[in-house]
A and B are shown apart, each in its own frame.
Chain A
Amino acid sequence: MSSSLYNRLKKIKDNKVDQDRRGNKRSKVSHRDFFTSVGVRQEPLQPTNSLWKLVRPGVWELKTLFPLAIDPNLIYHGLEGHPGNWAWFDTETTGLSNGAGTVIFLFGIASPRMGSWECTQVFLEDYPYEPEFLGRIQELICQFDGLASYNGSTFDLPLLRSRFIMNGLVVPEIHHLDLLRPVRRLWRDSRVSCSLGTIEHEILGVQRIRDVAGMLIPGLYQEYLRAAIPDPGSFTSLSDVFAHHLSDHWSMIQLTQVLGTVTLALKQKSDSSAFEEWGITRLGLLRFLVPQGYSKNDLDYLAGLTLEQGSGFAQLLPRLLIGLGDYSSSLPWLKAGVGDGSLWSLERLLIYYEHREKNPSKALKELEDYWAIHPDSRMRLSQAQGARWNSRHQRLRRKSG
């Protein structure tokens, strides 16, 4: 039995070798190449120091200065304004699932420092040092009032919590802001995906050259562990990973600036040109605005922008206007919606005619005109919907005499 077991295990092994081989096709980029491998708009500075320092047993640290000068007023802090001392973090892990077997091996945290930005990367040399690694992370986190991340609420943070639990450590309390949420609101309707890669490429205009794909990173760390060549302080085989990780921070910080700029432009009611650069639609702006709270004024301003509308804008805007009690402003939007064949708009318009204007015959005419122009839309209704529309029709006819 043992021979066949061995064969079966060997099969698993062969698969892995294949995967590794695929991973090796990339060309190598050294850590030093980082600033030339990302096409950023600003002129890059040389890293101040590229040697890792041992800060605890098995835990290494590297600080890199980003030559980014960002007006503090343009830093996006979410809805709560500026709660104080903030940092931006990201992790690299040994797997892409967040089950108990996935370990964080690289943690980065970036914050403004003397007119520029500094990113501290913490690296786990091998599994047994995880408690010290997490201890160091905790120390770093505690220096800040809040942490921002990209997709941290579903991936990085739960994983960080799991790691603390599994090492018997107290889970630190983290005040967290996930940048993915406002990004989704702004660009969800106009981008295929809101992954950091897409946003970086399409919004920030960054083209990474010779970048290691995120999905290959776990394999590279395993490879580094298996090779077990002691090169403390340089970890050359992982330099691509470190560079990738820094690039992610770079993009995240730039994105923060874009979000801050959009927030400010909205507040100042700038004209459309302020948003054109970022490819934002009016729908995106409207969605971005909703959680912040809005007035009739804000809605009028958005309605007046010359940006692309975005599908769904013509429904969301009147819905918000009605929510504010401004029925008359919603009317042109509803009428336009009905013109486009929207049943939702029709229903709101009928409610307006029937109950606000108390003019059932007008509603009846509107409804019958609609059925005449869109005869097939009735076929697409479910049984319950059909019944609802029929009873509305009956009622309007009755009321109109």
Chain B
Amino acid sequence: MSLSWIDQLRQEPRFVENVVSWKIFPPRKGSFLPLPEEVHPRLKTALEALGITELYSHQRRTWDLVRERTSVCLITPTASGKTLSYNLPILQKILEKPETRALYLFPTKALSQDQQSVLNEISLSGPKIKVATYDGDTPVSLRASAKQTGQIIITNPDMLHSGILPNHPKWITFLKNLEFVVIDELHSYRGVFGSHLANVIARLRRILNFYGSNPVFICCSATLGNPGQLAKKVTGLDITLIDENGSPAGEKHLITYNPPLVDRVQGIRKSTVNEAQKLGIVLLKKGIKTIVFARSRVRVELIAGYMNENLRNIFTDNQGIRVESYRGGYLPNERRDIERGLREGTIHGVVSTNALELGIDIGGLDASILAGYPGSIASVWQQSGRAGRSGTSSVAILVAGAAPLDQYIVNHPEYFENQAPEAGYINPHNPFIRTDHIRCAAFELPFSPNDTYFPDAQDYLELLTEDGTLRFTQGRYYWASQGYPAEGVSLRSAVNENIVIIDTTRGKNRVLGEMDRPSAKELIFPRAVYLHRGVQFAVLDLNLEERRCYVEESTLNYYTDAVTKTDLHVLTEDSYEDWKTCHGVIGDVLVRSQATKFKKLKFHTHENIGYGEIFLPEEEMHTRSAILLFPPGTRGGDLLAQVEPEQVPALLARVGYLLRQVAPAFLLCDPGDIRTSERLRDPHFDLPALFFYDAYPGGTGLAEGFLENFSLIARAALEQIRDCHCADGCPSCIGPRSAELEIIENPKPSVLSFLRSLGEL
């Protein structure tokens, strides 16, 4: 494709007048190396069938290192052939020595399925390799054969933790011959989830040592601030980083676009949804294969629906353009169909949540439209990376939303160009997580003092012995309880429980899709409008006990949006610090969120045309929180007393935002593991309060860590805001300013002086 369509875009005044920045990244030449001579002839045939006759330099480097049995971490952009990088040396080894086994870990089931089909494809055209997916969905009848004969087992960390490791003697054939462990999508293992994975890997290596295996680890990651460090922490091994990208890329245009103002006085802009779909249609009509990323499931359905409506024309068969929506919750075969359609070119446009951001192979596209800032720098690069094939130019357009964060990004394009992608922090030594995994490890094999894989185990072992979980006798610690410890340890904060959505239109009884339980309460409550691949359904009943939701096709002119309220109740006060600046409390809190009503929003105009009530039980989470209190007499309290009362929540919220940005570096977690909430006057303490609580039910020690390191965190926050070059707040410090929500001119000085008062305890 020539440059012409981009030039055309440049000349469209209605487009260009809203463009804030237009940056061009020059094309990059690929760096190719020949296929290694030793590649097995059957593998060579399979590669030729896929049109592969040479390798990118990073693929060849991976081959060379893995063949020398060096563990590696590969970090290259989307669609740079990462999958082939690790599949090649592994398949080669299996062909050379069929008893070889490999373990592939993916964070989600969808990615596992995708990997299985990639390997099946290779297997079809050449080497016959036994590949088995082993997860919660694997039927019992296939499990035994997977254990015995599966040469490549594809699974997820949760299954490894609760299914494979505690039953390792049943996996003896597999574990004894395990030569490769692949950890793909490494960047998803940040924070608490990553800390858990590091412990699961330590348990795996401990068991492998028992069986005398010492596999090579291959980690792959998308954009990440510190891939080498994260890989090292997760695997506990010295890992060689491969970060020179040998894949070619065409010229790339990164455009930030701010929807036009419709009300200059109030500063209201056209909606992101409508602008994104219009841009999508403009591109599709030019024959440009386009992906649109939207931030929520509902938005995905709306954008795809509007696009299809605009294209609808029976005489031209919709102008020969096919647009599909894509998100989690569709049936696996629906998703496979869409992926195949994109690869084969029968689908020209797709609207997706971040589900298509990574991993899944959908071939090359020419344009990517980001309907709203996706929330992280890494995601901007991933999503814009979906567009672009070698030799052709591609465009990524970031369409800003109305939120202050979006407005900040679009008006400061240099912010994400200069900002390094987010780093992933983990803390495998978090005592809460460590205790859980040492219990699991003791179940798997008795502990001797000075364990290589848990060198810090001694204190925990003694505690667990004292408590009767373990028994210390003749120099070893034995599991001495009845339970199955892995069952009680969840690696993720969200419970993996899905509601099945059933279409009952005209007596049908057909499964339409599925949805996780907390989202179900907000999206498929009774009388909600549920959108599924362009078809509209009305929810008749949501049965949470049976995990079923019954829907029926409908033709309403609105969609629904639940209004959720979150409440926080203090349950216990376990420790109390009275510092001069503020008071710090650690305690249990109950976080309740409940969707109580819903808005009916008219299609296209998105105007509110009415409300309805939702009667569903609330979602509860019992967790740990650090609470900062500002009573009179403390420096913080006195300072707050001088601020206008209506400004206090905003001030506390900004402080909370800042602390949440800074704390992960000290607590070695991910910002997603922590939540904050502020109160002008908390009903329990009757004081202004700032809550800093753990997003994992039961808590993972982050609240405790926060108070322990509070002076350090507060000082770092102070430095962050002091050294930030922005004028009145930005995403890196106190959050972008929202002109509509605040009356005061510049919130920065007040936050700065407040933090100064907190900085010294």
A residues adjacent to B (C-beta < 8 A): 1-10, 12-13, 16, 94-101, 126-128, 158, 161-163, 165-166, 218-219, 222, 225-226
Tell me the smallest distance from the CB of A14 to a CB of chain B, in Å: 10
**A383: nearest chain-B partner, CB-CB:** B508
* B2 contact set on A, CB distance < 8 A: none
**Which residue of B169, B485, B704 contacts A4 across the interface (Cβ within 8 Å)?**
B704
User: With A100-B443, A101-B442, A127-B471 given, is the CB distance from A95 to B484 under 8 Å?
Assistant: yes
What are 12 A-B residue pairs whose CB atoms fall within 8 Å in the complex?
A: A1-B701, A4-B586, A5-B701, A9-B435, A16-B468, A99-B167, A100-B444, A128-B473, A128-B474, A163-B169, A218-B482, A226-B480
Min Cβ gap B36→A in Å is: 38
Using known A-B contacts A9-B463, A158-B170, A166-B169, determine if residue A101 contacts B484 with beta carbons closer than 8 Å.
yes
The CA of A158 and the CA of B445, in the complex, are separated in Å by 17
By a CB distance below 8 angstroms, the chain A residues around B586 are 4
B271-313 contacts to A, CB under 8 A, are none
Contact partners of A97 in chain B: CB under 8 A: 483-484
Contacts of A225 in B (CB 8 A): 471, 480
Report the minimum CB–CB distance from B588 to chain A (whole Å): 10
Interface: B166 (CB within 8 A): yes
Q: Which residues of the partner chain B approach A162 to less than 8 Å between Cβ atoms?
A: 167, 169-170
Given contacts A95-B484, A166-B169, contact A127 B431 (CB under 8 A): no
Closest 6 CB pairs of A and B: A101-B443, A162-B169, A101-B479, A99-B166, A165-B169, A127-B478
Given contacts A13-B468, A165-B172, contact A127 B435 (CB under 8 A): no
Docked complex Cα distance between A330 and B480 (Å): 59
Which B residues fall within an 8 A CB radius of A? 166-170, 172, 431-432, 435, 442-446, 463-464, 467-469, 471, 473-474, 476, 478-486, 574-575, 586, 624, 701, 704-705, 708
Please report the C-alpha to C-alpha distance between residue A279 and residue B304 in the assembled complex, in whole angstroms.
64
Kindly report which residue of chain A lies nearest to residue B484, judged by CB atoms.
A97
Instruction: State in angstroms the CA–CA spacing of A332 and B410 once bound together.
Output: 81
The answer to whether A96 touches B482 (Cβ under 8 A) is yes
Chain B residues within 8 Å of A226, by CB: 468, 471, 480
- Complex contacts, A128 vs chain B, CB 8 Å: 473-474, 476, 478
Evaluate whether A1 and B166 lie within 8 angstroms (CB atoms) in the complex, with A8-B432, A94-B482 already known: no
Q: Is the CB of B480 within 8 A of A222?
A: yes
Whether the Cβ atoms of B463 and A6 lie closer than 8 Å is yes
State A16–B704 Cα separation when bound (angstroms).
26
Of A1, A2, A6, A161, which contacts B705 at CB under 8 A? A1
Tell me which of A6, A16, A98, A158 contacts B481 (CB under 8 A): A16
Q: Which of A1, A16, A101, A219 touches B431 (beta carbons < 8 Å)?
A: A1
Question: Nearest chain B CB to A28's CB is how many angstroms away?
Answer: 21
* CB of A380 to closest CB in B, whole Å: 11
Q: Which residues of A contact B172 (CB under 8 A)?
A: 165
**How far is the CB of B364 from the nearest CB of chain A, in Å?**
40
Q: Give the residue of B442, B463, B482, B701 whose beta carbon is less than 8 angstroms from that of A95.
A: B482
Interface contact A127-B482, CB-CB below 8 Å: no
Partner of A5, one of B166, B431, B442, B482: B431
Known: A99-B484, A127-B478, A162-B169. A9 touches B464 (CB 8 A): yes
Cα(A276)–Cα(B446), bound, Å: 52
A151–B422 alpha-carbon span in the complex (Å)? 54
Q: Please, how many angstroms separate the alpha-carbon atoms of A66 and B59 in the complex?
A: 70
Q: Are A4 and B471 in contact (CB under 8 A)?
A: no
Known: A1-B705, A5-B432. A101 touches B166 (CB 8 A): yes
Distance (whole angstroms) from the CB of A8 to the closest CB of chain B: 7
Q: Is the CB of B480 within 8 A of A5?
A: no
Q: CA–CA, A15 to B471, complex, Å? A: 18
Quick one: closest B residue to A11, CB to CB? B467
Checking B463, B473, B486 against A127 with a beta-carbon cut-off of 8 angstroms, the contacting residue is: B473
A128 CA to B482 CA in the complex, in Å? Answer: 18
- Known A-B contacts: A94-B480, A222-B480. Give 18 more (CB < 8 A): A1-B704, A2-B431, A4-B624, A6-B463, A8-B432, A9-B467, A13-B467, A95-B483, A99-B443, A100-B443, A101-B479, A101-B481, A127-B473, A162-B167, A162-B169, A165-B172, A218-B482, A225-B480
CB distance from B520 to the nearest CB of A (A): 27
Give bound CA distance, A99 to B435, whole Å: 19
In the complex, the chain B residue whose C-beta lies closest to that of A99 is B166
Q: Select one of B168, B467, B473 contacting A126, CB under 8 A.
A: B473
B469 in contact with A4 (CB, 8 Å) = no
Complex Cα distance A337/B473, Å? 66
Chain A residues with Cβ under 8 A from B463's Cβ? 5-6, 9
- Name A6's closest neighbour in chain B (CB-CB): B463
Which of A1, A12, A96, A163 is the one whose CB lies under 8 Å from B467? A12
Verify B484–A166 contact, CB threshold 8 A: no
Cβ distance A99 to chain B, nearest Cβ, rounded Å: 4
Report which of A1, A101, A222 forms a contact with B468, defined as CB distance below 8 A. A222
- CB-CB under 8 A from B469, the residues of chain A are 12
List of A residues within 8 angstroms of B471 by Cβ:
127, 225-226
User: Contact at B167–A5, with CB atoms within 8 Å?
Assistant: no
Min CB–CB distance B483 → chain A (angstroms): 7
Chain A residues whose CB sits within 8 angstroms of the CB of B166 once the complex forms = 99-101
* Minimal beta-carbon separation of A125 from chain B (angstroms): 10
Nearest Cβ distance between residue B300 and chain A, in whole angstroms? 30
Cα of A150 to Cα of B701 in the assembled complex, Å: 46
